[in-house]
Amino acid sequence: MISGVILICLAILTAGCWDRRELQERNFVLAVGIDMADVYNPIETFTQPHGSKRYRLSLQILNLGTGGDGKDKSNTYVLSNTGESFFEMVRDMLGQSSKSLWFEHVQVIIISEAVLRQTGLGELLDFFKRDSEMRSRMHVYVTSGEARPLLEYIPPNKEPGGIYLSNIIDLHAKNIHVAGKRTDLASIIRYLDNDSNLVVSRIEMAGKVVKLGGLAIFKKDRFMGYVDEDTVAGIKYMFASEKSAIVTIPCPDHVDHQVIFELFRHDTRLRPHVEGDTIYFTLDINMYGNIGEFQGDTALDNTMDPRYVHKLENAFADEIRRTVLYSDRILQKEMKVDILNLFAAKLKAYEPNTWEKVKDQWDEIYPDIPLVISVNVWIQNIGSHK
Amino acid sequence: MELLVRMGHWSLERWYRLFGCILISIIGLLSSGCWDQHELENRRFVLAIAIDRADQGLGPEEKEATRVETFVQPYGDKRYRLSFQILDITPAENIINGPKGKIATYVISNTGQSMFEMLRDMLGQSDRPFWFEHLQAIIISEAAARQAGGVQPMIDLFRRDPEMRWLTKTLITSGEARSLLEYQPPSGEPSGIFIASSLQLYKKNTHVPTWRTDIGDLTRSTDNNSRVLMARIELVDNIVKLGGMGLFKQGKFIGYVDEYATQGGKFILGIEKSAIITAQCPEHPGKILAFELFRHNTKLTPHLHGEKIYFTLDITMWGNLGETQCGRQHDTMDAGEIHKIETVVAEEVKENVLYSVHVNQELQVDAISFGAKLKAHEPLVWEKVKDRWDDEVFPTVSLLVSVNVTIENIGEHK
């Protein structure tokens, strides 16, 4: 008797259907855009007991819907709402949706610069940090314009826009102009919780063209400004986070010719040194790679000559040094931001006693710390033969 | 002749056998179920109905159309414009181009006074009979509801006709209702289905009343001479949004209630499943935080003090800290801080409830079921006050609110 009851209970409980949710009964949110609520539709909002109509939140929603002529139609659409609490806005947006919103597949959060000029990143991302439905691998981008048009963007291959936009950054290993490591939500939250400086990739849209490149620099959670692609390359050399890189120089023998180096492997070491009261850093880079391209009169292509190749190696090393110095100058002297607390972390790890002494004035000390750079380049293959 | 003579000599058993054969043939004919078949493709499914004032929102082109979209009426006048959203199912043309057919809708209208008369006259615009059993929503425009007679003449047919379902949602809009039937949701669904399924998200969205703003509830409330609620829907620039509700009393449109009061009403009735409650951060003025409600225990009780009637509302809420926009300056790991937030959220719930009561009392509509509670707990008192409840007693009733909030999870770790 008892075993019979247990058996029936088990059969009912383990069938696994009691809390099922069908895919087609959910609205997948693929991308989130955050703008200032300067202009908005009068019904895209609600009576708010607290706060003001400060932000305009936009969600890009995947359309799994029906329709025979889906080929030339977009498979996503965008909903917006205005308010201050993101959680409140999200729930009120159910009044514009026929299915509940599902955030576990959010790919990217795009924040407009106008918002960041007034609000810290920590306040904006708090909801995404706390809610259990959010995945920590979603990417965060900053744009100088409005975020909503980027959600409305239809990629040329007709992929859903959110997936396309978030895949761009995954190519950071090959694209030296994009610093993709440690800009996902999990890393940003970690940096925020540690009171560290952080970076977010920059995305821009003009007409029907979307491009990722450059970085937005944050001091703690405050937006400081953008740095260009060349600075990003220098930052990646310092962090040793490049997997591959393309370095361009004018040919040392013929000024109007261009030679391009393709980096394959590198060995990078950033070390702090303390002598008396002075702190300085050394950066030693060894790079191995190929000649990737030679632009100019091929009759003057001397790459078969080892002396010429050696000359090129020196020229490439100079170029790398210039790039690193350029980005170090921008960060130290112009922005005065120790990016991702790189130098502080190295000092703390290698010279803990010195760190204890200087950590409280680190922000004042950092802009004056010298960086000594030494670069060696080895060209292994030249891609031409006799 | 010979057969008949022979049958005269049949035994009783043979008669039984013949009778049995006939019976089986008749059952076979009747029970095969084809004698009253209705084919799907021979029906026009009506998904949504809109009722406007006859001359509402008509452009010159539509004015021309309304001359055809009507009939000679022996009684009544051209008071309403009735519109149907009709499902148009086109099967896939061939399998190669994909198995999907097309789902589209179109809208037809008629003007007159009797809904039933208009409906039957609209067959003159349709190639197949209408089918109402899948009707999802009835949208009434404010202008039509404000006309003489109120909401009763518009709704009577839907209460009486056996083809109508009680779960059909009723909605009110401040603009033209027909344009909501023409609206194409971005998800590609017909807007009738879109609206009805959006209302079903009431569990998560406290800004829409409840799922039961439907014909069934409307019928019950009308018969009990009590208030009628309709969810409010608005369309501006091709964006549709649900939020707040419209209130009716004795068939008359009283007014709209905003999202905040709708939420407060749900707190009083204890019908919210989840809610986001925002409050000012106690330590950083100008910054807000949000509490996510998961579970609650709500009790509304009437009390008597001599002649005076008052109510108490005890709410206990459990939930999580959903968002703090004062973010990093706030140590939510500290139990004392959390306790402060709990107090602030409880205070906010109280304010929300009192606001909702105030709105209801101003409108003199008891949409928060105080009357029903009094009738259940104090039937003798109810008998005395029921005739002057709405306009005299209810607006002066006081409510004592006590709220306890417990924050269980904070969504953060060390």
pLDDT tens per residue across span B294-304: 999 999 999 99
Band of pLDDT at residue A67, cut at 50, 70 and 90: very low
A302 compared with B288, residue with greater pLDDT: B288
**Beta-carbon separation of A94 and B205 below 8 A:** yes
**Beta-carbon separation of A132 and B185 below 8 A:** no
**pLDDT attached to residue B171:** 95
Radius of gyration over every alpha carbon of chain B, rounded to an integer in angstroms: 29
CB contacts < 8 A (A, B): 160
Q: Which of A47, A85, A100 sits opposite B290 (nearest CB)?
A: A85
Q: Which of B189, B274, B412 sits opposite A98 (nearest CB)?
A: B189
> H/E element holding B262?
helix B259-269
A312 compared with B95, residue with greater pLDDT: A312
What is the distance of C-alpha A30 from the center of its chain? 17
**What are the domain boundaries of chain B?**
40-257, 263-409
Band of pLDDT at residue B93, cut at 50, 70 and 90: low
Find the residue in B nearest to A120 (Cα): B327
Average pLDDT (A286-307) is: 86
Q: Which of B27-36, B157-166, B253-262 has the highest mean pLDDT?
A: B253-262
DSSP state of A184: B
DSSP state of B237: T
Contact A373, A283 (CB under 8 A): yes
C-alpha dihedral (B146, B152, B154, B157), degrees to nearest 10: 180
Assigned token pair, B92: 């896939």
Contact A139, A201 (CB under 8 A): yes
Nearest chain A CA: its distance from B203 CA (Å) = 10
Q: Please tell me the pTM assigned to this model.
A: 0.88
**What are the domain boundaries of chain A?**
23-227, 232-381
Q: Look at residue A300 and tell me whether its pLDDT is greater than 90.
A: no
Assigned token pair, B373: 């509670």
Q: Look at residue B359 and tell me whether its pLDDT is greater than 50.
A: yes
- Across B198-209, b (16+ Cβ under 10 Å) vs e yields bbbbbbbbbbbb
What is the distance of C-alpha A362 from the center of its chain? 26
Band of pLDDT at residue A386, cut at 50, 70 and 90: low
**Beta-carbon separation of B260 and A47 below 8 A:** yes
Average pLDDT, chain B: 88
**pLDDT attached to residue B327:** 65
Measured distance CA(A130)–CA(B325) in Å, rounded: 11
Q: Look at residue B37 and tell me whether its pLDDT is greater than 80.
A: no
B204 touches chain A (CB under 8 A): yes
**Beta-carbon separation of B188 and A65 below 8 A:** yes
Nearest chain B CA: its distance from A149 CA (Å) = 16
B316 touches chain A (CB under 8 A): no
Contact B66, B58 (CB under 8 A): yes
**pLDDT attached to residue B297:** 95
Nearest chain B CA: its distance from A331 CA (Å) = 25
Tell me the C-alpha to C-alpha distance, in Å, between residue A162 and each of A56, A62, A106, A155, A168. Answer: 18, 9, 8, 9, 10
Q: Look at residue B99 and tell me whether its pLDDT is greater than 90.
A: no
**Beta-carbon separation of B188 and A130 below 8 A:** no
Q: Look at residue B129 and tell me whether its pLDDT is greater than 70.
A: yes
Q: Which amino acid belongs to residue B231?
A: A
Find the residue in B nearest to A63 (Cα): B187
For A226-270, how does the pLDDT look when each residue is reduced to its tens digit (9 = 90+)? 999 999 999 999 999 889 999 999 988 888 889 999 999 999 999
B348 touches chain A (CB under 8 A): yes
Q: Which spans in chain A are helix H?
A: 2-14, 86-92, 113-116, 121-130, 148-152, 161-169, 185-193, 229-239, 306-329, 342-350, 352-358, 362-365
Find the residue in A nearest to B207 (Cα): A92
Residues 252-311 of B with CB under 8 A from A: 258-261, 274-276, 278-280, 287-290, 292
For A321-362, how does the pLDDT look when each residue is reduced to its tens digit (9 = 90+)? 999 999 999 999 999 999 989 999 999 999 999 999 998 999
Measured distance CA(A116)–CA(A55) in Å, rounded: 11
> H/E element holding B305?
strand B288-305
Average pLDDT (B131-160) is: 91
Reported ipTM = 0.85
B64 compared with A187, residue with greater pLDDT: A187
**pLDDT attached to residue A71:** 54
Contact B147, B107 (CB under 8 A): no
Q: B263-409: what fold?
A: GMP Synthetase; Chain A, domain 3 (3.30.300)
Average pLDDT (A196-212) is: 93
**Beta-carbon separation of B201 and A42 below 8 A:** no
Q: A232-381: what fold?
A: GMP Synthetase; Chain A, domain 3 (3.30.300)
Average pLDDT (A197-210) is: 93
**Using a CB-CB distance cutoff of 8 angstroms, which residues of chain B are in contact with residue A47?**
244, 258-261
Disruptive mutation site among B169, B205, B272, B293 for chain A (greatest number of A CBs within 10 Å): B205
Q: Look at residue A301 and tell me whether its pLDDT is greater than 80.
A: no
**Using a CB-CB distance cutoff of 8 angstroms, which residues of chain A are in contact with residue B348?**
49-50
Disruptive mutation site among A50, A118, A132 for chain B (greatest number of B CBs within 10 Å): A50
The β-bridge relationship of strands A209-219 and A198-206 is antiparallel
**Beta-carbon separation of B278 and A51 below 8 A:** yes
Band of pLDDT at residue B328, cut at 50, 70 and 90: low
> Which residues have C-beta within 8 Å of that of residue B89, sequence separation ≥ 6?
B41, B101, B102, B103
Q: Look at residue B329 and tell me whether its pLDDT is greater than 70.
A: no
Q: Which of A298-312, B102-116, B320-334 has the highest mean pLDDT?
A: B102-116
Closest CA to B321 of B348, B345, B353: B345
**pLDDT attached to residue A73:** 64
**Beta-carbon separation of A195 and B411 below 8 A:** no
Q: Which of B187, B235, B288 sits opposite A50 (nearest CB)?
A: B288
Among A246-250, B45-49, B137-141, B387-391, where is mean pLDDT lowest?
A: B387-391
Measured distance CA(B350)–CA(B264) in Å, rounded: 9
Dihedrals φ, ψ of A251, to 5°? -60, 130
Measured distance CA(B290)–CA(B300) in Å, rounded: 25
For B392-410, how does the pLDDT look when each residue is reduced to its tens digit (9 = 90+)? 899 999 999 999 999 998 8
Nearest chain B CA: its distance from A77 CA (Å) = 6
**Beta-carbon separation of A127 and B322 below 8 A:** yes
Residues 325-344 of B with CB under 8 A from A: 325-328
Dihedrals φ, ψ of B47, to 5°? -95, -35
Among A40-49, A106-115, B78-87, where is mean pLDDT lowest?
A: A40-49
For A151-170, how does the pLDDT look when each residue is reduced to its tens digit (9 = 90+)? 999 998 888 999 999 999 99
Closest CA to B290 of B241, B238, B327: B327
**pLDDT attached to residue B96:** 57
Q: Which of A41, A79, A86 sits opposite B323 (nearest CB)?
A: A86
Band of pLDDT at residue B102, cut at 50, 70 and 90: low
**Using a CB-CB distance cutoff of 8 angstroms, which residues of chain A are in contact with residue B323?**
85-87, 126-127, 130-131
**Using a CB-CB distance cutoff of 8 angstroms, which residues of chain B are in contact with residue A63?**
186-188
Q: Which of B195, B258, B290 sits opposite A88 (nearest CB)?
A: B290
For B381-395, how does the pLDDT look when each residue is reduced to its tens digit (9 = 90+)? 999 998 899 888 999
Nearest chain A CA: its distance from B185 CA (Å) = 9
Q: How many CB atoms lie within 10 A of CB A192?
A: 21
In a 3-state reduction of DSSP, which class is residue A336?
coil
